[in-house]
Amino acid sequence: MERTEALLADGRQIIWYDADGTHRVPSVDRRPLEPSVVMSQMRHDPLTGEWIAVSSARQNRTYMPPADQCPLCPSRDGRMTEVPSPEYQVVAFENRFPSFATQIEGVITENDGFEQIRPATGRCEVLCFTSDHNSTFAALTPAQARLVVDAWADRTTYLNELEVVKHVFPFENRGIEIGVTLQHPHGQIYGYPFIPPRAYTELMHAAAHRQAHGRNLFGDLIAFEQAGPRTVASNEEWLAFVPFAARWPVEVHLYPLRRVHDLSELDEAQRDAFTLIYLDILGRFDRMYDSRLPYIAGWQQAPAPDPDNPDTTALRDEAWLHLELTSIRRGPDKLKYLAGSESGQGAFIADILAEPLAARLRDLA
């Protein structure tokens, strides 16, 4: 993999990733953009202990442009986009409308009782999987998908080293039902200034499992699911299964059989094997109904290393990288909405048992 860095017209960073060096010649971004200024803040919820990011600039982000106006396509025929080159393989750049940024303007830290405010320091990036506007991740070749994995790993390494980042979360939203505002195949990477609730909960339960049983929770879970009725697919390096207590109408988790803490630690064999099993699972998702499944694919990985924080180090020691893939579609023309119980109390009510869902996904191979 080769990488080429540059700056966009407003000062944001952009990085091209190439497997063979054929698309490494960027053009100068000549758009008349003002320097990027981010004024996001975080507010503390005293009832849950969580930090809520507030980013009013996101109200102005591009929404469902026609294909010939897509800002994620290459810059061609005199039309400049977010990617100032006539072609690319994989590209990452700082989000133009971020929730978190390394430099925040005009926000002062306050710690006044119920009114606790912090600047929303961190990082938000866009990762374009291909220059082909009409493609999807499932349509990538194994070589193309492998380059995306390499880019995820590289961005994880880079973001983990930023002082303001405490946890790196690469993810993809696909489908207008999910709320996607740009149809070009792409994902995002959030560098949070805290460990987000889902990751923190999983790691805390892993720590409790270690204390109770002296073993790693994720390793025990893999051993439990490997030969069970919820396994969907496997290869020499990865296991894909429907979790026993799946929340979503379609939900599959993918684990490497050999433990790594984050994407940067995956070796060559693990990266190659992941691309094959992931493309397989995405293909099954697309064959469930007459139209493609909307989904969210999110990587759960260890918090950023923090040698001065023993609590973070303890959580990182328990982490086991895995991908959680979920869809809200519960039928050909039905979606699962997070209504009273889910939204009001965070108490999920599932629509299907895990075992028949896994059986159906196996049949779609």
Instruction: Output helix, strand, coil percentages for the chain, rounded to the nearest 5.
Output: 30, 25, 45
Identify whether 167 is a catalytic site residue: no
Strand arrangement, sheet containing 90-94: 2-7, 13-18, 90-94, 123-128, 186-192, 167-174, 295-300, 322-327, 250-256, 238-241, 231-234
User: Which residues, 6 or more positions from 146, have their beta carbon under 8 angstroms from its beta carbon?
Assistant: 19, 271, 272, 275
Q: Cβ neighbours of residue 3 under 8 Å, at least 6 residues apart?
A: 15, 16, 17, 18, 154
3-class DSSP state for residue 225? helix
Check 186, 209, 253, 322 and give the catalytic one.
Answer: 186
How far is the C-alpha of 74 from the C-alpha of 166, rounded, in Å? 32
Give Cα 278 to chain centroid, integer Å. Answer: 14
Q: Are 124 and 188 in contact (CB under 8 A)?
A: yes
Catalytic residue numbers, as ranges: 186
